[in-house]
């Protein structure tokens, strides 16, 4: 038996949602946390352990949000907690180098061949922002290529070039320097490169996009992107903030055999501590101050507590049993859900890459941004709340990636499959 339970009441969560909204816009410190898309009030969590999260009303939930990616080992992994507590006791931040930075950098550069040097920052968005600046500084060019539907954080350069603007307050000049092309379409990329020859600094891409369903690249696509960027002298940046160590150890670049010029990581590499890292060749990274002219700084970058969490996390992920277990759990989960979808004959697609997945309410597989516009958000909202009532916390968004952790058990997976069948039935009635 598992200890997940059906939702009793969320009275306190509702009260806290109202109170927080008086002090914090929308009652959330990140719009992703809002239940605006699925309806209802947000759930306030008090604690988390392993595969479960616990709310302020005493309910427990099997967690497939995974803190939007970081909880790959599960919440509060003992080795990570112990390492962070030990580092905290020595001081949370020095504003000067510490030995833990060296150890973490060594682990990452050994694990990921494309990383000859790295820089630590405090979030994936910060890593992306600086990688783009680095590419511009190294090439002397201003324009960047982005791919429709890929998400790279909330910095101006990446938000400005979204097909449908998601934010006001961004100068028009940013949009002029951003070029948007369709994902999984090499012809569109080549046309853009030809039209803006010698103007483009970089192309930044999620090798496995997670914000329009979990989309695997078409065979040969990433290899083609690599070849075109090399031909036109464009820096290729892989945003593996979500896919890194989620799709596989090291990320998508190892699976697809593509070596980017720069890579951004975050989320899963530090066991829940706030972190971002970007890196690439020594030649490119030498453009950063103090050796070069590209500026990037941060008081908390490389702080001891985060470095300790990262070291402990990577060491755990290096154990073959972790990814072997993740694959067994993921396969069991996806095969069970797919059999239900087939039996019920509902217009739902299961899209997966490693332990990342999306249960997509769409009439056909989602392969690009245009396909994602067909996703039925209303049906997903019903699905989400049915699962929540049965003690399962899924992503409160019809298009974003959910994830399985190494802390989930086979019994928990089977329970989830059972409740997903009920949720699928309720979504279409």
Residue of 249, 255, 274, 253 lying closest to 263 (CA atoms): 253
Does residue 61 carry a pLDDT above 70?
yes
359, 361, 363, 365: CA torsion to nearest 10: -30
Region 203-215: mean pLDDT is 95
Task: State yes or no: pLDDT of 172 exceeds 80.
Answer: no
Q: What is the pLDDT of residue 160?
A: 60
Supply the pLDDT for residue 429: 73
More confidently predicted of 177 and 81: 81
Q: Which one of the listed residues 61, 151, 256, 393 is annotated catalytic?
A: 151
What is the predicted pLDDT for the residue at 5? 52
> Is residue 100's pLDDT more than 90?
yes
Catalytic option among 239, 371, 376, 400: 239
Q: What is the pTM of this model?
A: 0.95
- Give the residue-averaged pLDDT of 99-103: 98
Contact 173, 208 (CB under 8 A): no
pLDDT, residue 284, reads 98
- Vertex 224: Cα angle to 219 and 227 (nearest 5): 150
Neighbouring CB atoms inside 10 A of 214's CB total 28
* For residue 162, pLDDT beyond 60: no
Q: Quote the CA–CA distance of 312 and 72 in Å, as a whole number.
A: 13
Tell me the fold of 11-76+320-427: 3.90.1150
Give the tens place of pLDDT for each residue, 24-51. Answer: 999 999 988 999 999 999 999 999 999 9
Average pLDDT over residues 204-232: 96
Please check the confidence at residue 143 and state whether its pLDDT lies above 80: yes
Question: What six digits make up the tokens of 386?
Answer: 């049915």
Q: Which of 7, 52, 267, 382 is flagged as catalytic?
A: 267
Please give the backbone phi and psi of residue 367, each rounded to the nearest 5 degrees, phi first.
Answer: -115, -10
Residue 60 has pLDDT above 70, yes or no: yes
pLDDT band of 167, cuts 50, 70, 90:
confident
Length of the chain: 429
156-165, 180-189, 233-242, 378-387 — which is least confidently predicted? 156-165
Residue 239 a catalytic site member:
yes
> Would the pLDDT of 161 be above 70?
no
Tell me: the pLDDT tens digits for 254-283? 999 999 999 999 989 999 999 999 999 999
Residue 163: pLDDT above 70? no
HEC secondary structure over the chain: CCCCCCCCCCHHHHHHHHHHHHHCHHHCCCHHHCCCCCCCCCCCEEEEEECEEEECCCCEEEECCHHHCCCCCCECCHHHHHHHHHHHHHCCCCCCCCHHHHHHHHHHHHHCCCCCEEEEECCHHHHHHHHHHHHHHHHCCCEEEEECCCCCCCCHHHHCCCCCCCCCCCCHHHHHCEEEECCCCHHHHHHHHHHCCCCEEEEEECCCCCCCCCCCCCCCHHHHHHHHHHHCCCEEEEECCCCECCCECCCHHHHHCCCCCEEEEEHHHHCCCCCEEEEECHHHHCCECCCCCECCCCCCCCCHHHHHHHHHHHHHHCCHHHHHHHHHHHHHHHHHHHHHHHHHCCCCEEEEECCEEEEECCCCCCCCHHHHCCCCHHHHHHHHHHHHHCCEECCCCCCCCEECCCCCCHHHHHHHHHHHHHHHHHHCC
Q: Does domain 78-317 have CATH number 3.40.50.300?
A: no
The strand pair at 262-266 and 276-280 is best described as antiparallel
The domain limits of the chain are: 11-76+320-427, 78-317
Give catalytic status of residue 410 as yes or no: no
Q: Which tens digit of pLDDT belongs to each residue from 377-410?
A: 999 999 999 999 999 999 999 999 999 999 999 9
Report residue 225 as tokens: 């992107």
Give dist(CA 221, CA 149) in Å, integer: 16
pLDDT at 117: 98
Does the annotation mark 293 as catalytic?
no
State yes or no: pLDDT of 173 exceeds 90: no
Whether the pLDDT of residue 164 is over 70: the answer is: no
Q: Are 146 and 152 in contact (CB under 8 A)?
A: yes
Residue 333 structure tokens: 């989960």
pLDDT at residue 4 in the model: 47
273 Rama class: left (phi>0) / alpha (psi -120 to 50) / beta: beta
Q: What per-residue confidence (pLDDT) applies to 43?
A: 96
**Mean residue pLDDT across the chain:** 93
- Of the chain, the end-to-end C-alpha distance in Å amounts to 30
As a whole number of angstroms, the distance between CA 65 and CA 392 comes to: 10
Flag whether pLDDT at 6 surpasses 90.
Answer: no
d(CA 10, CA 385) in angstroms, rounded, equals: 13
Distance, CA of 269 to CA of 250 (rounded, Å): 10
What's residue 155's pLDDT?
82
**Contact by Cβ (8 Å): 154, 167:** yes
The pLDDT of residue 168 is 78
């Amino acid at each position: 038996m598992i200890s997940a339970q059906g939702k009793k009441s969320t009275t306190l969560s509702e009260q806290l949602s109202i109170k927080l909204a008086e002090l914090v816009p929308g009652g959330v410190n990140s719009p992703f946390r809002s239940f605006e898309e699925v309806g209802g009030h947000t759930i306030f969590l008090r604690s988390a352990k392993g595969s479960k999260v616990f709310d302020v009303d005493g309910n427990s939930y099997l967690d497939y949000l995974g803190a939007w990616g970081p909880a790959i080992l599960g919440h509060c992994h003992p080795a990570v907690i112990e390492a962070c507590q030990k580092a905290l006791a020595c001081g949370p931040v020095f504003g000067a180098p510490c030995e833990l930075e060296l150890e973490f950098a060594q682990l990452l550069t050994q694990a990921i061949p494309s990383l000859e040097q790295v820089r630590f920052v405090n979030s994936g968005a910060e890593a992306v922002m600086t990688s783009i600046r680095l590419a511009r500084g190294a090439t002397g060019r201003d324009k960047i290529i982005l791919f429709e539907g890929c998400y790279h954080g909330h910095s101006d350069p990446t938000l400005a070039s979204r097909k449908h603007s998601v934010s006001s307050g961004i100068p028009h000049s940013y949009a002029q320097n951003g070029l948007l092309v369709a994902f999984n379409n090499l012809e569109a990329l080549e046309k853009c490169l030809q039209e803006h020859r010698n103007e483009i600094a970089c192309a930044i891409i999620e090798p496995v996009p997670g914000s329009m369903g979990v989309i695997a690249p078409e065979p040969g696509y990433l290899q083609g992107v690599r070849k075109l960027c090399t031909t036109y002298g464009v820096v290729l940046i892989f945003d593996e903030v979500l896919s890194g160590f989620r799709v596989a150890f090291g990320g998508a670049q190892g699976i697809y055999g593509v070596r980017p010029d720069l890579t951004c990581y975050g989320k899963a590499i530090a066991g829940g501590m706030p972190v971002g890292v970007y890196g690439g060749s020594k030649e490119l990274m030498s453009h950063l101050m103090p050796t070069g002219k590209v500026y990037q700084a941060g008081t908390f970058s490389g702080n001891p507590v985060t470095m300790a969490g990262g070291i402990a996390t990577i060491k755990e992920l290096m154990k073959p049993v972790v990814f072997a277990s993740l694959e067994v759990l993921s396969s069991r989960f996806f095969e069970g859900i797919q059999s239900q979808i087939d039996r019920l004959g509902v217009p739902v697609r299961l899209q997966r890459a490693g332990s990342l997945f999306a249960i997509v309410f769409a009439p056909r597989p989602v392969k690009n941004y245009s396909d994602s516009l067909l996703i039925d958000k209303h049906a997903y909202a019903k699905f989400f709340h049915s699962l929540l009532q049965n003690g399962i916390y899924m992503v409160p968004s019809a298009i974003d990636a959910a994830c399985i952790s190494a802390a989930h058990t086979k019994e928990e997976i089977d329970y989830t499959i059972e409740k997903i069948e009920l949720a699928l039935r309720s979504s279409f009635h």
